[in-house]
Amino acid sequence: MPAEEKKEVKGTTISRRQFFKQAGAVSAAVAAAAASSVIAPEEAEARTTFAEFFQNNYRLMTDEEKKEAIARLEQRHSEEYGKKVTVDGSPAMKDVLFGYALNIQKCIGCRRCVYACVKENNQSRHDTEIQWIRVIRMEKGNFTVDDMDKGYPNSPNESFGIQVGGNAYKNAGVALEGQHYYQPERVPEKDAFYFPVQCMQCEKPPCVKVCPVRTTYRDPDGIVVIDYNWCIGCRMCMGACPYWARRFNWGDPNLPAEEMNPKTHYLGNRPRMRGVVEKCTFCLQRTRKGRYPACVEVCPVGARKFGNLLDPESEVRKILDRKKVFRLKADMNTYPKFFYFID
């Protein structure tokens, strides 16, 4: 990114920060006023639901309609959660293409990213629990003298005349035989490594291709987003995603008011409703304002790196230049913008 534009981006972040400092006091007053002026919340709720039913796909709304939709949501969620909730509608930043890099050599499998994500993105906490990041534990595998006569085939009866020995069969780092529910006392363990998976924000996303109503689409900054109000819940995208990145709200999401993150984005972490699909958006409510995603910030070992792929000075670009990187399931030809790397 040229230096001038970089400054511009920075400028907007700062001014926004200042804006919110002033807005904080105002918004508290507004929230109080709103609370007192609402006479029949049920009627308001019904009216909102009615209006939401007829609203268009977010991408096709006029700016005016977007504003109305956002105002409706802000009012509805502020009432529902008893605090001032903001719903942002910022579009993608100019000349930004988000990329992510994860150092699997460093990851210790502590799952903090999983829970940071839940806290940030307002997922359902239980029944059913929704987590956008899944960390898989993988065996390092080893070869020992004792196992020389073992391995595949398991017994001479099964050998069909094939002689195989030397611990031929032990899974080591095989994605399809990892453990998802590992729970040791301490991580990292000596005999394992860990492999977190989340939405890869593919350049050729199979989920977008299969969506019959185009409720999921790619924004210009490369983030595959979902208009939760347009999703019909057919789950084609869940079937098509090679990374199992998408989750479904099988029932009404359970999000306690005190844990609700009031800073939301229309296409990101605003509270979802029953019967729609959701997934990681690289925390676009944060990243479009210049801040790191929650999972990057919480990783205690700094295994997670994030930045603008169009800016040669960004962390991800430097990693692509200097480290050995790979993309998960490259054979799927999805061109993820989520890279794994080793030192």
Partner 1 sequence: MKNKVSFIVDFFSYGLKGGSSYYAWLGILSLFILPWAYGSYQQMVAKGMIVAGFTDQISWAVYEGNFVFLVGVAAAAVTVVFPYYVYNYKTLKNVVLIGEMLAITAVLLVMLFIIYHMGRPDRLWHLAPIIGIFSWPNSILTWDVIVLNGYLVLNLICAFYNMYKRYTGQPLNEKFYMTFVYISIVWALTIHTVTAFLMNTMATRPMWFHSLMPLKFLATAFAAGPALIIVALLTIRKNTKLEIPDEAINLLSQIVVWFLGIALFLLLSEVVTELYPSTEHSFQLKYALFGMFGLSKMVPWSWTSYLVMIGSFVLLLIPRVRKNYTFLPIICISLFIGIWIDKGYALVISGMIPSPLGEFSEYTPTWIEIFIIAGNWAIGLMIFTILAKGAVGVMLGDVIHPSAAGKEVAHH
Partner 2 sequence: MKIKKITKVTFGALVAGTVIFGIGHFQTQAQQEQPAQQAAATATVTECFESREGYTARSRVENVVPEYGYPNIKCSQTTGGVLWWGDPYDDTIPMGDMPDIDDITKGDYLTEDAVIKPREPQLNYFNMDPDKHCVMCHDGKAVPFPKDKKPRMITMHQDIVEDSMELMHGEGAIWCLDCHNATNRNTLIDHRGKEISFNQPQKLCGKCHGVEYRHWRMGIHGKRIGSWIAGGKKRWWVCTECHNPHTVQTNRFQPLKPEPAPALPKGMKNADHESVHAPSAAGHGEATPAAMH
**Contact positions vs partner 1 (CB under 8 A):** 53, 57, 60, 127-128, 130, 134, 136, 174-178, 180, 197, 206, 209-215, 230-236, 238-244, 246-252, 274-277, 329, 332
294 binds, among partner 2, partner 1, none (CB under 5 to 8 A by kind): partner 2
The CB-of-139 to partner 2 minimum distance in angstroms stands at 6
Fill in the per-residue mask, 110 to 129: x = in contact with partner 2 (CB under 8 A), - = not in contact: xxx-xxx--xx----xxxxx
Residue 315 as a binder of partner 2 (CB under 8 A): the answer is yes
CA distance 187 to 233: 37
- Which of residues 44, 90, 151, 235 is near partner 2 by CB under 8 A? 151
CA distance 231 to 57: 9
Q: Which stretch binds partner 2 (CB under 8 A): 44-52, 68-76, 209-217, 284-292?
A: 284-292
CA distance 227 to 249: 14
CA distance 312 to 309: 7
234 binds, among partner 1, partner 2, none (CB under 5 to 8 A by kind): partner 1
207/299 with CB nearer partner 2: 299
Residue listed under structure tokens 């005999």: 191
Query: Are 243 and 200 spatial neighbours (Cβ–Cβ below 8 Å)?
Result: yes
The CB-of-47 to partner 2 minimum distance in angstroms stands at 27
267/309 with CB nearer partner 2: 309
Residue 262 as a binder of partner 2 (CB under 8 A): the answer is yes
Q: Could you count the other beta carbons within 10 Å of the beta carbon of residue 284?
A: 23
Sign of CA dihedral 246, 250, 251, 256: negative
61 binds, among partner 1, partner 2, none (CB under 5 to 8 A by kind): none
- Which of residues 83, 218, 235, 327 is near partner 2 by CB under 8 A? 83
Report in angstroms the alpha-carbon separations of 238 from 201, 244, 298. 14, 7, 27
CA distance 197 to 136: 8
The CB-of-39 to partner 1 minimum distance in angstroms stands at 27
Both structure tokens of 134? 């899944």
Query: Are 164 and 111 spatial neighbours (Cβ–Cβ below 8 Å)?
Result: no
84/137 with CB nearer partner 1: 137
CA distance 66 to 266: 9
Report in angstroms the alpha-carbon separations of 274 from 128, 164, 173, 232, 284. 11, 53, 36, 11, 22
Query: Which residues from 4-33 bind partner 2, rule CB under 8 A?
Result: 6, 9-10, 13, 20-21, 23-24, 27
The CB-of-292 to partner 1 minimum distance in angstroms stands at 25
Residue 337's SS3 state is coil
25/39 with CB nearer partner 2: 25
